[in-house]
A and B are shown apart, each in its own frame.
Chain A
Amino acid sequence: MITLEGVTKVFNQGRHNEVTAVGGVDLDIADGRVTVLRGPSGSGKTTLLTVIGCLARPTTGRVRIDGEMVSGLPERFLTEVRRRTFGFVFQKFNLIRGLSALDNVVLPALPLGVAHRSLVDKAVGLLEHFGLADRVFLAVENLSGGEAQRVAIARALINDPAVVIADEPTASLDGERVGQFLAIAEELKRTGKTVLMTSHDPRITEAAIVDRLVTMADGRIVEVAP
């Protein structure tokens, strides 16, 4: 369970170009459910996602994960919480060019000192599971958009996170791939993962697997359904 209390995020605070991206958000994100943040671009949903995912600290307010206050933690502990709890699928996938699919998938596990053989076997297993068995050694810049996203998902899952965060997951996918992505999301939910997405794509926001739809505008929550 992730709890947000009065979270704000202000960029360039105190300067002439000060921007309030998130202005006072209270929200509970239930475990094992699919939550979607919806809203036009600039509504603050991606910024809120970075705060929830411990990529950034809120300017004011509190973030709790399973009751533990994480918003005030120093950088090192924040990193620790982040890699223990979250798996990220970025909008532009953010794979490292020049490295193979396999090398990209194992990246989050490297600093944990996992044994080499089990790590590689697990990564190959994930890639195979997502239908990428013949892409294991292919450099990621040679993958199609859908394949790159599935590599990114495999990378997000390598450390077995409780929460998977996806930012605009369908922005660069065509219709058929959207269905594929939803199937994966459903499978994640089925295996007990919490899924948190931002999207303004109706194919996502109106999908049957979505448990909760949070609508944002101008940095505030305007509607929570159901």
Chain B
Amino acid sequence: MRAAFERRRHLLDFAVRSLARRPTKNLGLVAIYALVVFLVGSVMLYGAAIRREAAVMLASGPELTAQAMVMGRHEMSRTTDVAALKGLRGVRRIEPRLWGYLWDSAGAANYTLMVPPASDGAHALAKGEAIVGEGVARARRLAPGKMLFLVSPAGKFLKTKVKSVLPADSALVSSDLVLVEESDFRAFFELPPDVWTDVAITVANPREVATVAEKAALKLPGHRFVTRADMTRTAEALFSWREGLALALLAGALLAFAILAFDKASGLSAEEKREIGILKAIGWETRDVISAKLFEGGLISGLAFLLGVIGAWTHVFFFSAGLFEPVLKGWATLYPHFPLAPTIDALEIATLAMLTIVPYMAAILVPVWRTAAADPDAVMR
């Protein structure tokens, strides 16, 4: 037992001394390797964190959203449509919503203008008042008490006084919101009093969502019913897609590194072959040689993995994935500032380890095996 442990420890000692002979080369290798782990790890951690964030937050949204459709395009719902849904079994609440987009040329950004639902006492507004999201406040330098002027595409003006700014905590879902009072909204967009953007439906029993959607669709054949599961799925797919895209872009770098690693690890130099021959001749078994070489590979890839993962974690959760912002935000000018909640997923880390450590170790193993299995008498010649 003790001897077996001491043997491994000796082989590890040897691996360290062996690597220490070429410090610049090996540290350089660790640095490049760590950079690759860092990039891939950042993408994976960010993607997973934002998917989780989306799943948790959107879980409290309305179970069903009804949208009027005309020729495949979104249309306004009528008050009569809302009335038609009343009395549907299993429905707890029906909330017609008013919201829409506004391109603000002053801020060069898209806002989402919205009227707080009647049931929402916390955000109740008087005429001429507005509540803005964190991004809007940042873009227009707003604070409670300041004035916000909006111009509609038709040239209408809306002058509001900022009542409050939504907390930065919720920036991920509310960054671009401008909440206004209903009559202000209708006047600004010149909407008749009996139209709504869509209808949010709260279902009493979450297991009945599909049934309720089916029955509602019979009552309002011109409407499309989007379930909350659809929304979460959309978010999930969208971020998986972007993560995949970023990984695809990184594939070039990964491939370059793989070639480098393979070349370094697999092409044993004459010097390395000679050393393996010496070790065999002085009494090392094939498995001793392989263990020592695997320790070398493990030291390099393990160190690079730890450094890369720590770097990626710091980047994503302490610097909000700053390096990826340009890719992720696209053309959006109101990119929310939000902290991502650090959450660790053992499977993610294991996947990353599999992707980075295993190929490197395999690239080392095969050629060493071939060389070490040869008869050791070559060193005498």
Contacts and interface: CB of A to CB of B under 8 A. Distances in A.
Taking the complex as a whole, does A directly touch B, i.e. does some CB pair lie under 8 Å apart? yes
Given A75-B286, A110-B11, 8 more contacts: A56-B376, A56-B377, A79-B285, A82-B283, A83-B282, A103-B14, A110-B14, A115-B6
Contacts of B286: 75-76
Contacts of A109: 10
Interface of B: 2-7, 9-11, 13-14, 17-18, 21-22, 271, 274-275, 278-286, 288, 373, 375-377, 379-381
Given A94-B379, A167-B380, A107 B282 contact: yes
Best-surrounded residue of B21, B282, B286, B380 (most CB of chain A within 10 A): B282
A111 B14 CA distance: 11
A108 interface: yes
Given A112-B7, A167-B380, A99 B17 contact: yes
A55 B375 contact: yes
Contact of B283 (A75, A79, A90): A79
A110 B3 CA distance: 10
A103 B377 contact: no
Interface in A79-115: 79, 82-83, 88, 90-91, 94, 96-99, 103, 106-115
Contacts of A114: 3, 6, 10
Contacts of A103: 14, 17
A57 B376 CA distance: 11
A170 interface: no
B7 A110 contact: yes
B283 A159 contact: yes
Which 3 pairs show the lowest CB-CB distances between chains A and B?
Answer: A83-B283, A113-B3, A98-B21
Contacts of A79: 280, 283-285
Contacts of A113: 2-7, 10
A165 to B, nearest CB: 10
A157 B355 CA distance: 45
A116 B10 contact: yes
- Dominant SS among interface residues on chain B: helix
7 contacts: A76-B285, A94-B281, A99-B21, A110-B288, A111-B284, A111-B288, A116-B10
Best-surrounded residue of B284, B288, B377, B379 (most CB of chain A within 10 A): B377
A90 B279 CA distance: 13
B306 to A, nearest CB: 26
Nearest to A98: B21
Contact of A46 (B3, B373, B381): B381
Nearest to A167: B380
A167 B274 CA distance: 17
Nearest to A165: B380
Nearest to B3: A113
A49 B283 contact: no
A57 B377 CA distance: 9
Given A46-B380, A55-B376, A90-B379, A116 B6 contact: yes
A172 interface: no
Contacts of B281: 55, 88, 90, 94
A110 B289 CA distance: 11
Contacts of A108: 282-284
A220 interface: no
A139 B86 CA distance: 89
Contact of A111 (B285, B375, B380, B381): B285
Nearest to A92: B379
A50 B21 contact: no
B283 A111 contact: yes
A162 B269 CA distance: 34
A50 B380 contact: yes
A88 B284 CA distance: 13
A116 B12 CA distance: 12
A155 interface: yes
Contacts of B18: 98-99
Contacts of B375: 55-57
A112 B282 contact: no
A113 B17 CA distance: 17
Contacts of B279: 107
